[in-house]
Structures are given as C-alpha cells and as structure tokens.
Structure 1
C-alpha cells in the first residue's frame, strides 16, 4: 500500500477580458478498487458560483462551471492524498478505441515531425516539461474562434494534438 500526496495547478491567461466562459475540468483522481481518495481540495480563481461535480462516462469525477463576468485569467488547483494498493486493482481490458495500433490512435505525420524535433531526454518528468512548453509555444491565440465573448482563445495552428497521438509518437 502506498500513500501519495499530489498537487496539480493550471493557469490560463487571456490577452483581454473574456465573459460567458464555460469549462469542464478533468483533474481529479478516480476512486476505484485499489485506489482510495483520502482528501481532496479544489480551488479556482475567479470563484465560480453554481459549479458542480459530476461523473463522466468512464466514472471519472469532473467539475463543470461557467463564469459570466469578465476575467483575464483562470486558475485551478487540485491537492489531495490517495492510498494505492495495486494488488487489489483489477486491470480491465482497454476499450478498442484506446488500444494500439488503430486508425483512431495512429500518429499523423505532423505529430511525428513535432516529436522528432523535440530531442527529449530519457527522464520522463523532464520530457513532459519539454513537451508542455513545445505545445504552448506552438499554439496561437485568435479572437472570436469559439464564441467566448471579448477575449482571445486558444487555437491550434494546423493539427489538433490529441494525447493518444502524441503518446504513440513518443513511444515510436
């Protein structure tokens, strides 16, 4: 049995005020056989009124909300403790849509080229930091692309980088 303390924080900064900002966060550990959440604290800024915790189709906890008033940044943080006992976990067969290789998860040439240009170290943590910065540097902001009013929003340059495709490129 292992006790793990975790902390995760993300901040999104807009170049101007946005309003009518709807969001869904998927940053909470799952409670399942072999893993028990002991404590969990979630905060966000600006403060959301009327937000709610729900379960998605896979049983994961998600938090959804909306901020109608103007704001130029959005920050959320999740801190907690879980106990893991992998001897009690039953490892289910993955859904076909997530099994490799498949046409749904095959890395596109753009993703493969993106990965080749990163020169990643063998340390997974350092590699994740490099990937995160490279994705951030690759994105551009364009006003009015999603219907969020009066602000700039994240827009991909040419390819939507799906996590499964990036993962396959990293494993290649």
Structure 2
C-alpha cells in the first residue's frame, strides 16, 4: 500500500464569450477495492452550483451550469489516497468484451492481430503481456500527431501516438483475443499530465497494465475514471452557446 497526494488543475480558455454552458466533470477519484480516497476537494471557477452523480461505469460525475457570459472554466482537485493493487477489483461488466467507438479495428489492425495470435498463448496474463510487448515493438510514443478524437485504427496506421492511443490499441487487440478490457484515465508518476492505461479481466478480477510504458500498474497509479474507451472517461465534457470558439486547455497534475 502507498499513500499518495494528488492535485489536478485544468484551465479552459475560450477565444470568445460563451453562455448557457452545461458541463460534466469526471475528475473526483472513485472509492474502490484498490484505492481509498482519504480526502478530495474540488474548486471550480467561475463559482457555480454543482450536482454529484455516478454514471453507469462507476465514475463520479460533477454536473454544473453557467448561464452568464464567461471566457474560461477552471477546475482543480487536491487530495490524498491510499492505493493498494495487491487487492483486486471485481466490478465486471460484459460490455468490456466488445469493441467500442475508439477501439474498433480496421483491416490493418486486424491483420496485425492475426499475424501474432499463434504466439499469443498461455494464461490471460501471459497473452496480455505478449500483446503489450508486440504493441511496444510496433508503436512509438510521440506527442502532437494524435488528439482526443483519434481512434485505435488511425493511431495504428501512424505507428505513433500517446498513452490514449496505446491504450485503445491494446484494448482492441485484447478484445479480438476474447479478453475483456477497459480504459482507465488517471494520474501516475509521468510527465505532469493525465495518463491512461488498461485493465484486463483475468477471469475473476481486474489487473492493470500500462501499454505506453509496457509495464504492470503499481501503487503509483491513481484511477480517476474508467469505461469502454476514452469517450466514457473524458474528464471534462460540455455544451455551450456563443460564437465559434476555440478552446485552449492547460493541464497540470502532481502525484507524490
């Protein structure tokens, strides 16, 4: 078990005024069998009343509405948690067996799986680690080429991407191999940004693996949200009115 202190700051700036802005934040870490949230405070600016709910995947959702004109939305969490991945989560859902919007493979990704599946043998853990190794040998980590709308097939065509892309591709491969897998968004000891990784179903519990770093998940990883792919885990999502605006985002995370 490891006690961690965490903070996450996002500053959204719009290039023109917006109004009637409805938003949903998946930013408060859930209480699970592998992590106990000791404290967590949320600050939103401009000040707004919010409502707390839980979605179908067990994520904490903070919903709010800003009626008047504004050009920014800032939100920040700070807190502490005990993380213990020697314990196991068992919140299985059958939907994690099936391809989703971001993980649906194209012909190239399917052919890649077909080319390696004869060597993908052993336990679920063995097969997962083999596919993660194969992905690591094929893909290169590089920022700036993909974004939050990039699918597994698009990133695989580039053979380059970031943690989100590595996670989507590994989930796609695992599901092709009949292994249930889910996308995890959270904080880790990385480069000051949010991180993503994968959990796979062993048959009786979830295990975590980080395909971008090709390593098992340890007590240095704090879960914020989970789902079938990035769409289910998006930390901030909103609808607003105003002129066409470009959204600039600044994110800073700390996990110690």
TM over 0.5: yes
Sort the Cα spacing of 1:63 and 1:70 in 2 relative to 1 into closer, same or farther, 3 A: same
Which residue does 2:25 correspond to in 1?
25
Which residue does 1:69 correspond to in 2?
68
Which residue does 2:190 correspond to in 1?
125
SS of residue matched to 1:112? helix
Sort the Cα spacing of 1:66 and 1:38 in 2 relative to 1 into closer, same or farther, 3 A: same
Separation (CA, whole Å) in 1 of partners of 2:90 and 2:64 = 32
Whether 2:155 is the aligned partner of 1:111: answer yes
SS of residue matched to 1:89? coil
Separation (CA, whole Å) in 2 of partners of 1:55 and 1:25 = 11
Indicate the structure with greater strand content. Answer: 2
Sort the Cα spacing of 1:14 and 1:31 in 2 relative to 1 into closer, same or farther, 3 A: same
Shift of 1:108: 5.2
Separation (CA, whole Å) in 1 of partners of 2:190 and 2:244 = 30
2:9/2:76 contact within 8 Å kept: yes
TM-score normalised by the chain length of structure 1: 0.62
Separation (CA, whole Å) in 2 of partners of 1:89 and 1:2 = 15
TM-score normalised by the chain length of structure 2: 0.44
1:1-172 matches, cutoff 5 A: 1-49=1-49, 51-93=50-92, 95-99=93-97, 102=99, 104=101, 105=103, 106=105, 107=151, 109-113=153-157, 116=160, 125-126=190-191, 148-153=240-245
| CA deviation map 1:54-91 (0-9, x unaligned) | 11112221100000011001110011111122233335
The alignment covers a number of residue pairs equal to: 131
Q: Which runs of 4+ in 1 moved over 4 A?
A: 126-129
Separation (CA, whole Å) in 2 of partners of 1:3 and 1:86 = 12
SS of residue matched to 1:47? coil
Separation (CA, whole Å) in 1 of partners of 2:100 and 2:242 = 38
Sort the Cα spacing of 1:75 and 1:85 in 2 relative to 1 into closer, same or farther, 3 A: same
| CA deviation map 1:17-54 (0-9, x unaligned) | 110000000011110123111111100110012x1111
